[in-house]
């Protein structure tokens, strides 16, 4: 009897953890259910190239990128190569409980310089910044540049801003955004958590996964 009960509790734990899924939204192809990143102003980001810089060479980095695609933007009001007047943004609205941003960083020191200065906001509140200084080699690398940590499971809006007004040169090569969410087709994890709490007094100390 006790054995059967233990099996039931363990399968509840498995259901609860299986309900959390990570969803990756590609910069170009979006994610499931048609979710897409929006780019503002639209012409400041270019798929497969560097928006805002007409004479920057096309970086040969699609092999580094999720789904082989990326969106680049350069912002520097003081740089004659740059045609944008306000910092470019990439925005994603999602239903989830955390979010992270994946970019490709450039180690080039010219045309354009790989200095990157990003600001991340969730629901209009600034959460973090990311700054990168290129090493001077002609290489690129992928990196997670922002992780939100836990957010309440709800609708959220993430904004990635490239550079700042009057803030110097900034290059962003955006690859993808990953968010975690509750797979609502499975039993809700809060209902399962409640049943675990009720049954916990008899639970052996090492029954947690």
Ligand X SMILES: *[C@@H]1O[C@H](CO)[C@@H](O)[C@H](O)[C@H]1NC(C)=O
Residues that bind ligand X (CB under 6 A): 20-22, 95, 155, 180
From the list 111, 116, 106, 112, the residue with the least C-alpha distance to 161 is 116
Min. distance of Cβ 15 from ligand X in angstroms? 13
Residue by residue, what is the 3-state secondary structure of 78-122? CCCCECCCCCCEEEEEEEECEEEEEEEEECCCCCCCCCEEEEEEE
Min. distance of Cβ 143 from ligand X in angstroms? 13
Would you say 6 or 182 has its CB closer to ligand X?
182
Would you say 21 or 200 has its CB closer to ligand X?
21
Would you say 6 or 143 has its CB closer to ligand X?
143
From the list 118, 89, 96, 87, the residue with the least C-alpha distance to 184 is 96
Identify the burial level of 56 via C-beta atoms within 10 angstroms of its C-beta, where 0-12 means exposed, 13-18 middle and 19 or more buried. Answer: buried
Min. distance of Cβ 22 from ligand X in angstroms? 4
**What would the two tokens of residue 45 be?**
């980001």
Would you say 22 or 203 has its CB closer to ligand X?
22
Residue 76 and residue 168 in contact, taking contact as beta carbons nearer than 8 Å: yes
Min. distance of Cβ 155 from ligand X in angstroms? 4
Would you say 46 or 153 has its CB closer to ligand X?
153
Min. distance of Cβ 95 from ligand X in angstroms? 5
């Amino acid at each position: 009897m006790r054995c059967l009960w233990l099996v039931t509790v363990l399968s509840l734990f498995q259901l609860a953890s299986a309900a959390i899924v990570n969803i990756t939204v590609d910069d170009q192809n979006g994610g499931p259910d048609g979710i897409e990143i929006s780019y503002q102003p639209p012409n400041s980001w270019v798929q497969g190239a560097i928006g805002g810089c007409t004479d920057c060479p096309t970086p040969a980095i699609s092999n580094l990128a999720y789904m082989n695609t990326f969106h680049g933007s350069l912002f520097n009001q003081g740089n004659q190569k740059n045609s944008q007047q306000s910092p470019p943004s990439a925005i994603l609205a999602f239903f989830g409980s955390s979010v992270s941003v994946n970019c490709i960083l450039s180690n080039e020191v010219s045309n354009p310089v790989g200095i990157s200065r990003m600001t991340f906001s969730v629901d209009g509140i600034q959460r973090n910044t990311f700054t990168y200084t290129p090493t001077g080699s002609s290489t690129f690398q992928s990196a997670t540049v922002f992780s939100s940590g836990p957010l309440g499971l709800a609708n959220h809006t993430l904004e990635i801003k490239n550079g700042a007004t009057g803030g110097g040169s900034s290059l962003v090569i955006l690859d993808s955004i990953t968010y975690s969410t509750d797979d609502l087709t499975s039993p809700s994890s809060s209902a399962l958590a409640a049943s675990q709490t009720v049954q916990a007094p008899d639970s052996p100390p090492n029954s947690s996964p």
